[in-house]
Amino acid sequence: MKRAVGWTGRLDELARLRAGMRDRLLSSPLRQPETVAKGLEAALRVMWRRWCEGLPAESFEARLEDLGPQKGEVEVSCNITQQSMP
């Protein structure tokens, strides 16, 4: 509430912020679903690689560079041993 009241005396500054909001929204990743999907793909690939290597879960940052080559199919393989249930 204090912030809202503080802006009441700064109308010129508020108008400048409002004027730039449309451009900021249009350039936001939220308006770029391809970028969001590629980021999710990168995160899933990192998780899959770590799981295949037997590494424990941990926090990480996925980068689009983690995707590797973009042309054609990217082969990701993992040896999985199925354990029989007793």
pLDDT tens digit at each of 86 positions of the chain: 888 888 888 889 988 888 888 888 888 877 888 888 888 888 898 899 999 999 998 998 877 776 665 545 455 556 555 455 55
pTM: 0.50
Predicted local distance difference test score (pLDDT) of residue 28: 83
Query: Is 76 in the same domain as 42?
Result: yes
Domain span at residue 78?
32-86
Predicted local distance difference test score (pLDDT) of residue 76: 54
Predicted local distance difference test score (pLDDT) of residue 78: 60
Other Cβ atoms closer than 10 A to 20 = 9
Query: Is 12 in the same domain as 44?
Result: no
Query: Is 50 in the same domain as 76?
Result: yes
Query: Is 18 in the same domain as 53?
Result: no
Query: Is 38 in the same domain as 18?
Result: no
* Domains held by the chain: number: 2
Residue 68 φ/ψ, nearest 5 degrees: 75, -150
Query: Is 84 in the same domain as 50?
Result: yes
H-type helices in 2-72, by residue range? 2-7, 11-26, 33-52
**Which residues touch 74 (CB under 8 Å, ≥6 apart)?**
67, 68
